[in-house]
Structure 1
Amino acid sequence: MRVLIVDDEASIRRTTRIAVETTGHAVTEAASGARALKLLEETSFDAAFVDLKLGAEDGLDLLSKLLKAQPQIAVVMFTAYANVATAVEAMRRGAFDFIPKPFTPDQIRGVLAKIEKNRALESRLASLETQLADASPPVDLESAEPPVQRALEIAFKGAETPATILILGPSGTGKSVLAREIHRRSAQRDAAFVTVNCPSLSRELLESELFGHVKGAFTSAVADAVGKVAAADGGTLFLDEIGELPLEIQPKLLRLLQEREYERVGDPRPRHANVRVIAATNRDLAAEMKAGRFREDLFYRLNVITVTLPGLSERPSDLLRFAEDYRKFFAARMGKRISRFAPPVLAAFAAYRWPGNLRELRNVIERAVILTSGEIIELHDLPEELGAQVSPTVAVGAPVTIDALEAEHIRRVLATARNLEEAARTLGIDPATLYRKRQKLGLL
């Protein structure tokens, strides 16, 4: 944390500095209220220790000014034993805590620990509120597909390190869900997880949302804004769809990744941020780089640990499990008793290519749960494009090739089997042979 010490006695500032620095925090000193306010114009602080009596200055007045300048700062007041009532008044006005004089280094360290815990809880609460706002079925990060198993293994190993992680894959494959799980398994798990949706805003507004701005930086900047980078300090910054990040902002992101420094819009002063970056995109960044739409140096800086999530059509052995999870979730949420999918529905699921991936599957099943009038989801409860996938031409005795018939049969078995091993047993072959057949028939 960045800590400001405001006291007109040099010995008190020195003693407090030593206690704070032994806990690993950065310290700045000010001998007067005016100097403290000047420092707040230049730097953001997490905590401040302020004497109630700064010579002729009133510490309570300074407290109000500090909180007005930086509302997030935790202000701890120093007070003499005779001024406990005044300290209580300071807390009523917004002080985080107070320490009576004379104090010990352990008291300083103790209140810093309280501030850190409080900030961690606030960040955690904000993260939980975001998750609740996106209420969704339980996260399923298991797979019977070897390529997905390998991708998850890489992601979870990378989670334990501070390395930047790049998640690739088509839209709807669960990239943001995986990013949250990486954060949950990381050393930053108790701090904030902050998402920036890169294509959602214009270049100017995106830069402001990412790095913050100062009042007057542009027409609508009526007050200072700290930005998502500052909000994620100590935690994880998730850059969703980074392939659409404007070229003008890319050098600034590169600076953040390399030097942990950035500047707010309208303010040339460099600021520091300790953030772990996870980025995701459905674009081919190598192709974007060759086309001149993505910086080469930023690409290689992001490409430390890369995880690729395949589309749902490449995960046939996972499809039924996802579908069942969604069925149970939406049936419970809507208070309906729905026991299963009819066999033609499972065949339609197996035949469909799922261009929208998991997001589309979720929407299809939510719709089916709403529309079905019985306990079984039938083919007529699905959108027309899914029902059309069950082709009567691919059947025994129909004028189709052996390969087409075999591919259709394998696809349908995979849709109803719980895993690849069960599918292989049903087909009477071993899993390795099943993998080779899927590869040959274009079912991977």
Structure 2
Amino acid sequence: MDQVEKMATFSPMNVLIVDDEMNIRKTMKMFFDLLHHKVTTVSNPKDALLEAGLQIFDLAFVDIRLGLESGLDLVSSLLAKLPRMKIVVITAFASVDTAVEAMKRGAVDYLPKPFMPDQLKLVLERVEALRTLELRINLLQDDLDRNDPDVSLSSTHPPMQRMIELARQVSASDAVLLLLGPSGSGKTMLARLIHRWSHRTDKPFGVISCPSLSQELLESELFGHVKGAFTGALRDNPGRVAGCEGGTLFLDEIGDLPLSIQSKLLRFIQEREYEHVGDQRTRKANVRIIAATNANLKSAVAAGSFREDLYYRLNVIQITLPSLAERSGDIEAVAGNMLAFFNAQNHKAIQGFSPEVLKIFRDYGWPGNIRELRNVVERAVILCTTTMIGEELLPDSMASAVQPQIRIGDRIKLEAIEELHIRRVLASTSSVHEAAEVLEIDKATLWRKRKQFGI
């Protein structure tokens, strides 16, 4: 049994049982409880749809006859709310016609009454096999759609090694994580890896970039909305929290989250409860939160732009990613990993980088970190017509930015020392604001210096 099969077979499911016979509900609940699945039982379509609006189900067993109501009609209604849910219809009035009609409505299997535990177990195994197949397809599709190479986990830089070990350790827990580091240092990729290493790996991983949406749209994207909640809300939107049920939600640049939404996020983290925009019904969700920022949240708390209680709730476990310039010994390996990725993507067989290019890579300050290196390697692969990437394929600004080693007291212009110092401070800080504070100059002056030196 491979890793994907283990994930699907042993992952507990949230099961809904809809049957108007109390004994059937009790018996099935006992069966699924013994297998450590979470079970909700109801006796009618109204309660089934109510539960489907409050929580995400993986599997539902629906009786075809529910008093005077049709379970077949309920199949379509449930799938309209939860498209990824698997539905098995059960009935004492088995026929080929009803089986065919159930499948047309979206059911994945059919179970005639009376049934024994072995029959129920066989149906469950078929559903789990289907989930395994869908998981394989999703993982393959992710690989096909992937635009970025995987993060290299080998490092000679001790802080990076400790960071990777810490990330592996905390992936096994459900604790909230706060990822810190300069822009482009790989926080999103690390969040994806933590999700892959966790027991939630077969559940969704969602990403929300907090600065990219207006306040109204951000709240809707996060918690969902009902039709008519605001101008342009033409249909219900379940939101990312509901969409990531059982999985992980990554909030990038959390420092830009508006104050009005911060209180709602805090409540969700503490109580796992939230409401759709425009709806008073309280919903619950089991979603792990990973947040990231390149800003100084302590300063934001002091300035009143970030809630102190949310900061401490997010800061349960903090993981800091070093800048690429700090781990210059890893640059060759990281660049090689990217070269292999872009070789495959562009159907090329480039063997490596020239010694001159590798020297420039080691000496360059990388203010854009891994994101900048990715762009440089991708550009070089696209332009390369030989088996080796030479320095002529690097951006002109990059080669000119690399300066020879300078020591205090060397017979050089003061301006050269100033430029080198500014470059190194920019490479070692997480933002222009922080760099200006270290240099004790205002941001406008730093901007002019960057323009002067072509940084």
Quickly name the TM-score band, shorter chain normalised.
Answer: 0.7 to 0.9
Partner of 1:173: 185
Conserved? CA contact 2:183–2:369, under 8 Å: yes
**d(CA) in 1 for partners of 2:98, 2:143:** 41
| Cα displacement string for residues 63-94 of structure 1 (whole angstroms, at most 9, x for unaligned residues) | 33333454344332221265354233212321
**d(CA) in 2 for partners of 1:124, 1:192:** 13
SS of alignment partner, residue 225 of structure 1: coil
SS of alignment partner, residue 205 of structure 1: helix
- Correspondences of 1:29-428 after superposition (within 5 Å): 29-37=41-49, 40=52, 45-80=57-92, 82-108=94-120, 110-112=122-124, 114-115=126-127, 118-119=130-131, 122=134, 125-126=137-138, 129-391=141-403, 399=411
TM-score normalised by the chain length of structure 1: 0.81
| Aligned positions, number | 403
**d(CA) in 2 for partners of 1:68, 1:346:** 55
Conserved? CA contact 1:393–1:399, under 8 Å: no
SS of alignment partner, residue 222 of structure 1: coil
**d(CA) in 2 for partners of 1:37, 1:369:** 53
Q: Which runs of 5+ in 2 are unaligned?
A: 1-12, 421-455
Once the two structures are TM-superposed, the CA of residue 125 in structure 1 deviates from its matched residue by 4.6
Letter of the 1:377 counterpart: I
**d(CA) in 2 for partners of 1:233, 1:124:** 19
RMSD: 3.1
Once the two structures are TM-superposed, the CA of residue 38 in structure 1 deviates from its matched residue by 5.1
Deviation larger for 209-218 or 370-379: 370-379
Conserved? CA contact 1:348–1:389, under 8 Å: no
Once the two structures are TM-superposed, the CA of residue 327 in structure 1 deviates from its matched residue by 3.2
SS of alignment partner, residue 151 of structure 1: helix
**d(CA) in 1 for partners of 2:81, 2:322:** 48
| Cα displacement string for residues 11-66 of structure 1 (whole angstroms, at most 9, x for unaligned residues) | 33333333344444454444334454455556554433322223333332333333
Conserved? CA contact 2:380–2:394, under 8 Å: yes
- Correspondences of 1:3-22 after superposition (within 5 Å): 3-22=15-34
Once the two structures are TM-superposed, the CA of residue 170 in structure 1 deviates from its matched residue by 0.6
SS of alignment partner, residue 278 of structure 1: strand
Deviation larger for 290-299 or 37-46: 37-46
Distance 1:339-1:257 versus aligned 2 partners, 3 A rule:
same
Distance 1:82-1:383 versus aligned 2 partners, 3 A rule:
closer
**d(CA) in 2 for partners of 1:206, 1:42:** 21
Conserved? CA contact 2:207–2:250, under 8 Å: yes
| Cα displacement string for residues 258-304 of structure 1 (whole angstroms, at most 9, x for unaligned residues) | 11112111122121111122111111111111111111111111111
Once the two structures are TM-superposed, the CA of residue 343 in structure 1 deviates from its matched residue by 3.5
Conserved? CA contact 1:169–1:308, under 8 Å: yes
| Cα displacement string for residues 141-168 of structure 1 (whole angstroms, at most 9, x for unaligned residues) | 2210111111111111111222122111
**d(CA) in 2 for partners of 1:335, 1:28:** 51
Distance 1:320-1:119 versus aligned 2 partners, 3 A rule:
same
**d(CA) in 2 for partners of 1:42, 1:366:** 45
Deviation larger for 111-120 or 157-166: 111-120
Distance 1:40-1:140 versus aligned 2 partners, 3 A rule:
closer
Once the two structures are TM-superposed, the CA of residue 243 in structure 1 deviates from its matched residue by 1.6
**d(CA) in 2 for partners of 1:234, 1:355:** 37
**d(CA) in 2 for partners of 1:117, 1:283:** 45
| Cα displacement string for residues 308-355 of structure 1 (whole angstroms, at most 9, x for unaligned residues) | 111111111111222233334434543445444334333322332110
Conserved? CA contact 1:120–1:191, under 8 Å: no
**d(CA) in 2 for partners of 1:109, 1:32:** 24
**d(CA) in 2 for partners of 1:125, 1:210:** 26
Letter of the 1:246 counterpart: P
Query: Which of the two has higher C-alpha Rg?
Result: 1
Letter of the 1:192 counterpart: P
SS of alignment partner, residue 359 of structure 1: helix
Once the two structures are TM-superposed, the CA of residue 380 in structure 1 deviates from its matched residue by 2.8
Conserved? CA contact 2:252–2:291, under 8 Å: yes
Distance 1:108-1:218 versus aligned 2 partners, 3 A rule:
farther
